[in-house]
Structure 1
Amino acid sequence: MSDNCFVIKCGGSTLAALPDSFYTDMRSLQEEGLIPVIVHGGGPAISDTLNKLGIETEFVGGLRKTNEAVLDVVEMVLAGRINKEIVRKIQLSGAKAIGLSGVDGHLIQARPVANAHEVGLVGDVTDVNAALIQGIVAMGYMPVIAPIGLGADGGQRYNINADTAAGAVASRLGVERMIVVTDVPGIMRTVDGVKKVLPSVTVYDIEEMIGSGEIYGGMIPKVRAAVQCIQGDVKEVVIVDGSVPEVLSQVLKGGEIGTRIIR
């Protein structure tokens, strides 16, 4: 399985803004038999819709505080609008895609996070139905996955951080590489007053940089999720800027681009 697919994690707003060439690159890879499994987020679009509906929302430690009303909107925006927008864009490029959420076929099973008393219906992944993903890939389609999970009984939905969900999918599939597509060129460090992209960092380096404040804000959950999924069969996670031409092909061919996070 790990030979013919790789996992891409991308924010919903990033994916919507990516140039057509990104999708053409995906199609070329699919034609070569390398199938991306995409896990997407959609934070800004969720916040925007909640505001329009007058539903209060707040974040605790980077996670959206989620009750049933918020969860309805999360599912509607992620599994509905954003998921289908991505599928349409992929299909317009001539590639083949199928959109799913973690609810479909019990794709992502979850349990409440440790601080559920603070954040509500936010989940940690307990299992991924890898066979379902493998079946879709075997048919030649790219799975596009919205990170909603189901509890063990199948009744309760959970809002799952997209970085966490992508890491779990990559680990369960046993892929060697996960690509995190963002709007930044990688993990930056200021050297002699100039910001430079670090070509590779270790898990230890990351914790040091979080401690020193060099990695901050929205980058913290990204790198922490990368570190989480490196513990499975995943050997490296690459953070790249999706607007770079043929960025996926460059990464897969071992090009010097973005930041590689390694053990």
Structure 2
Amino acid sequence: METKEQRFVMKCGGSTLAALPASFFEDLRALQEQGVRPVIVHGGGPAISETLTKLGIESEFVNGLRKTSDEVLDVVEMVLAGRINKEIVRKIGQSGAKAIGLSGVDGQLIQAKPVANSAEIGFVGEVTDVNAEVIEGVMGMGYIPVIAPIGIDAGGQRYNINADTAAGAVASHLGVERMIVVTDVPGILKEVDGVKQVLPTVTVAQIDQMIESGEIYGGMIPKVRAAVQCIQGRVQEVVIVSGEEPGVLSKAVKEGGIGTRIIQS
């Protein structure tokens, strides 16, 4: 594949992106200048929780997903599609790269339906389709699409969508086989002779075993499970990398051999 056709989907939490050094965004700009086409899908859970607390709105989680009433949904959309999305676009712009912020509602970009247990969890959606033409159009104009994971159905109902599943769906509909998940850790760590080392490659089945055995524990569990959620459709592998690592995106896109590759089997 020629470089000019090279594209990748990157998923990052809103709080992680906000803390990334300027060099990360300069690396993104360098890739864009070389003809690589990045697409960013972001989350923003901590910022949503913080805003709900400030507004005195109670919210709870059911099996790791935020219970989303109409009132909570307003805040989710305001924080994700408003504050965080524009913060990322601004940071990319400061680096000299070009970005356009979108939410899944724009151009019916992320089409969704209620999840199976919507009666207990509210307006949480699962992706039914992605309007890849909108993303292709934005990339074609030379901009990086920055997508907030809000979904919409044919009747105009909005849905809160898990950022990891949204990122996986976007990648799959774009025909991207490899996704990059940017976190605050260098990959999946395993203790070998008392020293923590990054596992270069791991399968989904091995991850389940490592969670069961306690080798993957604490805050690493949700990060790894989230990365696994990105493996769907055409997406064959996900690479977990640290955004703090100098030139991390260039290394992940061009050379590989950085972070942890999670593969289907």
Q: TM-score, normalised by structure 1?
A: 0.94
1:126 maps to 128
Q: Secondary structure at the match of 1:253?
A: helix
2:233 maps to 232
2:204 maps to 203
Q: Distance in 2 between matches of 1:217 and 1:151?
A: 36
Q: Secondary structure at the match of 1:243?
A: coil
1:67 maps to 69
2:162 maps to 161
Q: Secondary structure at the match of 1:215?
A: coil
Q: Secondary structure at the match of 2:167?
A: helix
Q: Distance in 2 between matches of 1:51 and 1:82?
A: 17
Residue 74 of structure 1 aligns with an amino acid whose one-letter code is V
Instruction: Kindly indicate whether residue 32 of structure 2 is the aligned counterpart of residue 51 of structure 1.
Output: no
Per mean C-alpha deviation after superposition, the further-off stretch among 253-262 and 142-151 is 253-262
Structure 1 residue runs without a partner (length 5+): none
1:25 maps to 27
2:187 maps to 186
Instruction: Kindly indicate whether residue 101 of structure 2 is the aligned counterpart of residue 99 of structure 1.
Output: yes
Contact 1:171/1:229 (8 A) holds in 2: no
Q: CA deviation at 1:116?
A: 1.5
Q: Distance in 1 between matches of 2:225 and 2:129?
A: 19
Q: CA deviation at 1:14?
A: 0.6
Q: CA deviation at 1:187?
A: 1.0
Q: Distance in 1 between matches of 2:175 and 2:18?
A: 28
Q: CA deviation at 1:118?
A: 2.3
Q: Distance in 2 between matches of 1:97 and 1:217?
A: 35
Q: How many residues align?
A: 262
Q: Secondary structure at the match of 1:230?
A: coil
Contact 1:10/1:39 (8 A) holds in 2: yes
Q: CA deviation at 1:232?
A: 2.3
2:178 maps to 177
Q: Distance in 2 between matches of 1:121 and 1:213?
A: 34
Q: CA deviation at 1:239?
A: 0.3
Q: Secondary structure at the match of 2:102?
A: strand
Contact 2:168/2:232 (8 A) holds in 1: no
Deviation string for 1:110-133 (max 9, x for gaps)?
Answer: 111122222111111111001110
Q: CA deviation at 1:225?
A: 4.5
Distance 1:111 1:216, change over 3 A: farther
Residue 131 of structure 1 aligns with an amino acid whose one-letter code is E
Q: CA deviation at 1:19?
A: 0.3
Contact 2:124/2:160 (8 A) holds in 1: yes
Q: Secondary structure at the match of 1:179?
A: strand
Deviation string for 1:130-154 (max 9, x for gaps)?
Answer: 111011111110000000000232x
Q: TM-score, normalised by structure 2?
A: 0.94
Contact 1:201/1:262 (8 A) holds in 2: yes
2:252 maps to 251
2:215 maps to 214
Q: Distance in 2 between matches of 1:218 and 1:172?
A: 30
Q: Secondary structure at the match of 2:241?
A: strand
Q: Distance in 1 between matches of 2:64 and 2:160?
A: 13
Contact 1:239/1:260 (8 A) holds in 2: yes
Q: Distance in 2 between matches of 1:198 and 1:156?
A: 42
Q: Distance in 2 between matches of 1:210 and 1:189?
A: 11
Deviation string for 1:206-235 (max 9, x for gaps)?
Answer: 222233333345544543443344342223
Cα RMSD between the aligned structures?
Answer: 1.7
Structure 2 residue runs without a partner (length 5+): none
